[in-house]
Structure 1
């Protein structure tokens, strides 16, 4: 434990989320005092159970406060006395949305609510959990890896969830530039997040592994994606929080090499043997996915990604912050192994 961090308060928003819980683990291990927001304090014990599975046994440096990104109440109390804020909370993709604003407005308004409260409380730096969805979506004819200099094309073919991440991050940078009043900002933009699942609240990226192991996916859509381990995402949040060179910077959290969904299936087959008996071995033609997406709202976002170039570069975080992520295979297998251990895979 790093004693120099004793008494340094950090607010983590959305404390029950997959990335947030891993951030809390890293912070507590390094001696920080953590205050976590929850929309309902009824989830305190659930979060503590996940933290215990992640190796935390003492909770004297952890407290909770009820706060909702869609309301002003309690945000002034939440940030009071905090040196840093990890703004991890974000609305998850809505399957049956009627209008894209159902995702865009809560994401944008929530970011600005947290930034205003942080500025008023004299917080030193906010780290915003953005996404690859704000970097590499809606573009065509791409042939070189996406970097932090890239932004998603809001006029292109992208899902409202990806649009919401882009608009929310742009709003954050605009706020800092125009009315930040000395408040510092860094963003972490993770690609698809895998890694150890600690409870039933985990990232939608992990659902792919669960659905493959349960035999729900009969053939793999031709979708390419980069992956990253949630533990490495948490490490990058802490580096972005304290490193002098991180102020005013975006960081892609990525191992850098894209995998197809069939690649994931083959990793599971290779490592799990008979346990992966239901994992698919073939790819599905794009036209089938596109037709299915017209009738199944849960496939809409997937359909916008078919055949798209998805290579990314994690060089900036590695070179500037000395960040060192695990491999794709390690991250994917950590997801599978933890789900099996927790009994989350239906036989």
Structure 2
């Protein structure tokens, strides 16, 4: 992507004097964002839930050449008020990545909403009090296209929202949708500029052995845990492009007030497996080899909540409108295959998969 102007917010702007509050800095996306920010000369104040987690993040970023002397770590939890006012004090920008992303979906579709929505509102309240100028929020593509089973138009863009009233929408998608809607309303009330990043399935290189939920899908394939997969497809985006988009959305004046969908292209679970086997032939007997017939998934859905969540996705690839990210944020996406290969390589390098 093209380099940003240091004076994106005016000639008097000086990156070296700007502090960015980065919530959930220990997350997969957030660590990459922290690397970009530190490399560009910002001071970063990262929130963590424990001092031990903060020490791990600092060590990880240092190993990757980050100027960690410009990194401060603060303890704050999305479910509690304590710590957020101090975390936001003196910050010009806020990048809010913290949100629950469990491997297994809770039975209660609204179980994740308190941490996601109420935590977002706490962060915005602290930002308002501190005089933060702009917030960039990490949402998800699942806040855009889910719950529209009868829709015939497969193209989804900035104006589209998931329908959380649909029983087909899982807890994670409900939490991301509710949290993002709350952020738009609260930011307008607070006079806070907001840009939102809606990435598809995020893959790409890990920075340490702390593999997140997305990478573990690839890990399960590499371990031979998914010999058969349903006929589902989804957009894929490289975490490095996601990090670049966050920084651009923070710096580019015209990014305010927009949602940015990030996807380099759609791939099925079988296609992901085939590419893993192509990149690493030793995986040929481990990656998925068969596609489950739709009727099998539909039958399983009668008794399985997890299978039921797959029903709206069966054989229904989405056309995701990424034009705004390409034009406004100047993102040139890495291919899905590059993101898949980078994930697999780092899972090996960090010993997550042997």
- My pick for the range that moved more, 144-153 or 183-192, is 144-153
Instruction: Measure the CA separation in 2 of the matches of 1:293 and 1:202.
Output: 29
Q: Deviations over 1:16-37 (max 9, x none)?
A: 1000000001001111100100
Question: TM-score, structure 2 length as denominator?
Answer: 0.91
Which of 137, 161, 168 is residue 172 of structure 2 equivalent to? 161
For 1:134 and 1:266, locate their aligned partners in 2 and report how far apart those are by CA, in whole Å: 29
Aligned ranges 1:221-240 → 2 under 5 Å: 221-240=230-249
1:281-325 per-position Cα deviation (integer Å, ceiling 9, x unaligned) = 221123333454566665554455333332212111101221111
Q: Distance in 2 between matches of 1:120 and 1:202?
A: 35
Between 1:84-93 and 1:138-147, the stretch displaced more is 138-147
Following the alignment from structure 1 to structure 2, what is the Cα–Cα distance between the partners of residues 279 and 244?
44
Question: Match for residue 206 of structure 2?
Answer: 197
Aligned to 2:160: 150
- Please say if residues 136 and 246 of structure 2, whose CA atoms lie closer than 8 Å, have aligned partners that are also in contact: yes
The question of whether the paired residues in 1 share the 8 Å contact of 2:38 and 2:66 is answered with: no
Q: Whole-Å Cα distance in 2 between the matches of residues 96 and 195 of structure 1?
A: 23
Q: List structure 1 runs of 4+ shifted beyond 6 angstroms.
A: none
- 1:318 matched to 2:329: no
Contact 1:194 1:203 in 2 (8 A): no
Q: Per-residue deviation at 1:143?
A: 3.4
CA distance in 2, matches of 1:52, 1:284: 44
Residues 62-120 of structure 1 show CA distances to partners (whole Å, capped at 9, x for unaligned) of 01000000000010000000000100000113736342232122211011111111011
Unmatched segments (≥5 aa) in structure 2: 7-13
User: C-alpha separation between the residues in 1 aligned to 2:352 and 2:158?
Assistant: 35
State the match for 1:110 in structure 2. 119
Worse overlay, 200-209 or 104-113 = 200-209
Match of 1:37 in 2: 47
Q: Which runs of 5+ in 1 are unaligned?
A: none
Q: What is the total number of aligned residue pairs between the two structures?
A: 342
- Measure, in 2, the Cα distance between the counterparts of 1:144 and 1:305: 12
- Residue from 277, 281, 293 that aligns with 2:289: 281
Q: What are the superposed Cα offsets for residues 206-256 of structure 1, whole Å, 9 maximum, x if unpaired?
A: 22211111000011211110000001000000000010001111101111x
Counterpart check, 1:86 vs 2:111: no
TM-score w.r.t. length of structure 1: 0.92
Q: What is the CA RMSD across the aligned residues, in angstroms?
A: 2.0
